[in-house]
Structure 1
Amino acid sequence: MGTVTTKYFEYGQEEMDYLQRVDPTLGAAMARMGKVERVIIPDLFAALVHAIVGQLISAKAVHTIWERMQNQFGEMTPHHMAIQTADNIQKCGMTMKKAVCIHDIAQTIAQGALNLEELYDLPDTEVIKKLTVLKGVGKWTAEMLLINSMERRDIVSWGDIAIRRGMMKLYGLDTLHKEQFEQFSLRYSPLGSVASIYLWAISFE
């Protein structure tokens, strides 16, 4: 049984109405699909570990590794993960590179070199800047944390293949250039994260 607490990303009819108004194509898909729930991890450290595990692998693989980690280690806290070896973390099914990153980040936070709580007071761009200093954390991982833990409202990640695929499917595009992507993202603003939740769902339909 998993030990990490989860909840749904909070949004409602007001946000759905807004997106349906600014983008009728997305709006039609939303009307067809109804409310799509996105499970998030409120604890920042656990969410960061989950995002690192999720880099470049399928959702199914992430689920398996994440279950194993919770069964193996119980508490997903910086102090608890800092005393594990990278070898032990790696045995849950991830690459050694990811295991080393998780271990190093746990130590950095446990030793007080980074205070995750301070991120709540920072704007999105600053959160990304602070997180990408950590080894193994790129912009995509930081953006996943912004949506999947901090519930920031306006994140649409160019680095996310599924979001790009969802966009292409939604608008019937064979290719998607960054400029087009930016235009769609601006259209969804300030509720890009809710649009992202639908784009993920559309990409896997």
Structure 2
Amino acid sequence: MGPVRTKFFEFTQDEVDYLTKADPQLGSAMARLGKIERVIIPDLFAALIHAIVGQLISAKAAATVWERMQNRLGEISAHNLARQTIDEIQACGLTMKKANCIHAISSSIAEGAFLLEEVRDLSDREVIQKLTQLHGVGTWTAEMLLINCLERRDVVSWGDIAIRRGMMKLYGLDSITKEQFEKYRHRYSPLGSIASIYLWEISFA
């Protein structure tokens, strides 16, 4: 088995044009940055584990752990990870809490107790409700799966520090309230995910 398959989040110039009309400030930033190729993971299980790995750590640290997991543990599948010990998972550079979560989730999916593939047919809200039943999966993790696996169009995560920082940089704010955030999120709708892809980039620029 090679590394986890990835692809780019697909969006069109028409969608960029729509957002530019809805929010000219975002539009000029998008024009300046050009087309952004956001790497996503089409496999639901691998994308879920990738999101758990990325909780509360930098993207760079997450990438290191993710690569190590693939090299040491092999295939990122529920059956394979359920077969590993918690210590083997943790040795890839994870906290014991995350290693426990990953092992428990892998076992639950491998045994058929949790039917992960069902989320493909659910609405965004239902996906979040279903995934947050899993121990160690909160709203942010579920929202990352909506964007970084399912390519859902309208996700802007309040729980994502980089998204909030991107908004603050874009609009010249020193801080951002939930109310301001919701105003922008509403403005981007129904293409919030594409706005998010650019806000991440702005945040790190």
The answer on whether the counterparts of 1:7 and 1:41 sit within 8 Å (CA) in structure 2 is yes
The answer as to 2:109 corresponding to 1:70 is no
Q: Which residue of 1 aligns with 2:22?
A: 22
For residue 117 of structure 1, report the CA deviation from its aligned partner. Answer: 1.2
| 1:104-155 superposed Cα distances (whole Å, 9 cap, x missing partner) | 0001101111111110110001000000010100000000000000100000
> Matches of 2:193 and 2:53 in 1, distance apart?
21
Superposition RMSD in Å? 1.0
CA deviations over 1:163-204 (Å, ceiling 9, x no partner): 000000000011100011011001000000000000000000
Q: SS where residue 81 of structure 1 aligns?
A: helix
Instruction: Note if contact 1:25-1:170 (Cα within 8 Å) is conserved in structure 2.
Output: yes
Percent identity of paired positions between Structure 1 and Structure 2: 71
- The residue identity in structure 2 corresponding to 1:38 is R
- Post-superposition Cα deviations, 1:45-72, rounded to whole Å, max 9, x if no partner, equal 0001000000010111111100100001
Mapped to 2, the partners of 1:21 and 1:131 lie a distance apart of 34
Match of 2:5 in 1: 5
Once residues 2 and 8 of structure 2 are traced to their aligned partners in structure 1, the CA distance between those partners, rounded to angstroms, is: 16
Superposed, 1:93-132 pairs within 5 Å as 93-132=93-132
Higher mean C-alpha displacement, 84-93 vs 2-11: 2-11
What secondary structure does 2:113 align onto? coil
Does 2:172 correspond to 1:172? yes
TM-score by length of 2: 0.98
CA contact 1:70–1:76 (8 Å) conserved in 2: yes
**Structure 1 counterpart SS, 2:141:** helix
Is this contact kept in 1: 2:2–2:75, CA < 8 A? no
- Uncovered stretches (5+) of structure 1, i.e. residues with no partner: none
What pairs with 1:55-66 in structure 2 (closer than 5 Å)? 55-66=55-66
Instruction: Give structure 2 stretches of 5+ with no counterpart.
Output: none
**4+ runs of 1 displaced by more than 4 Å?**
none
Deviations 1:82-123 (A, max 9, x none): 010110000000100000000000011011111111101100
Shift of 1:2: 5.7
The TM-score with structure 1 as length reference comes to: 0.98
Match for residue 141 of structure 1? Answer: 141
- Separation in 2 of the partners of 1:177 and 1:113? 39
| Separation of aligned partners in 2, 1:180 and 1:37 | 28
Once residues 37 and 2 of structure 1 are traced to their aligned partners in structure 2, the CA distance between those partners, rounded to angstroms, is 22
